[in-house]
Amino acid sequence: MSQPVNKPSAKKPYSSQLRAAQARATRRAIVDAAARLFTEQGYGATTVDAIAKTAGVSRKTVFASVGGKAQALKLAIDWAIVGDDEPVPLLERPVVRAGMAEPGARQMIAAYARSTTELGARIAPLIAVAEAAAGADAEIRAMSADGNAQRLRGMTVFARALADRSALRPGLTVSEAADILWLLGGPAVYHRFVIEQGWPAQRFEEWLRDALTGLLIDPGYQP
């Protein structure tokens, strides 16, 4: 008489979910450690071994989870831009959508100045790291160029929304308005004023709001 064959039990659904959560937590720890080391001692002085030690993982895990030092910096910047590691693009974030939905152009710029100031606190130190490393590292240089291009595309969407409200100063094109938004709202400007010159964040927000309103908005515009 043949014996019944014992079939392997199906994997419990929660086991794969647990592994995914653990992998995500490990990746988060690695990127957080890398971001801290990059801002404290610079990109060149930070090694993969140091990142692994700070994150409490092996060197192999760093490469398997993140992909290397440049990839860790990219993820640190990407996550700092949106504030977390959720795969939701910046333009689809509630704070951005709310700003774009403001009824008037001046309110839109005020919302932009506020969110830019909050973003600057997270992103400016990491962007400074990337800019310092770009001269000697082609991968970081390409990453920085791509980030600048993406930000300009976002500013073009914003500038076009202002133009759709007939709010731009006479003679100012959407492209020019996008360039102004891209420059003044960039992390380098926040870094200069707040981190280097010691401006309070609230003062920077007010200055950015007023500067962009004066440069972009038609004085005769009525929302």
- The string of pLDDT tens digits covering residues 6-24 is 555 555 656 788 888 888 8
Q: Tell which CATH classification among 2.60.120.1440, 2.130.10.10, 1.10.357.10, 3.60.21.10 matches the domain 88-223.
A: 1.10.357.10
CATH 1.10.10.60 residue window(s) in the chain: 15-87
* Alpha-carbon span 157 to 134, nearest angstrom: 27
Q: Which CATH superfamily is domain 15-87 in?
A: Homeodomain-like (1.10.10.60)
Q: How many CA atoms lie within 13 A of 208 on its CB side?
A: 33
pLDDT under 50: residue ranges of the chain: 1
Contacts (Cβ under 8 Å, ≥6 apart) of 183: 189
Q: How far apart are CA 214 and CA 21, in angstroms?
A: 48
Residue 1's pLDDT is: 46
User: Residue 91 gets which letter from DSSP?
Assistant: G
Nearest-5° angle of CA 62, CA 64, CA 66?
60
Partners of residue 217 on adjacent β-strands:
168
Q: How crowded is residue 20: how many other Cβ atoms within 10 Å of its Cβ? A: 10
Cα–Cα distance measured from residue 107 to residue 98, given in angstroms and rounded to the nearest whole number: 11
Phi/psi at 24 (nearest 5 deg)? -65, -40
Alpha helices in 42-93 (DSSP H): 48-55, 59-65, 69-82
Parts of the chain belonging to CATH 1.10.357.10 = 88-223
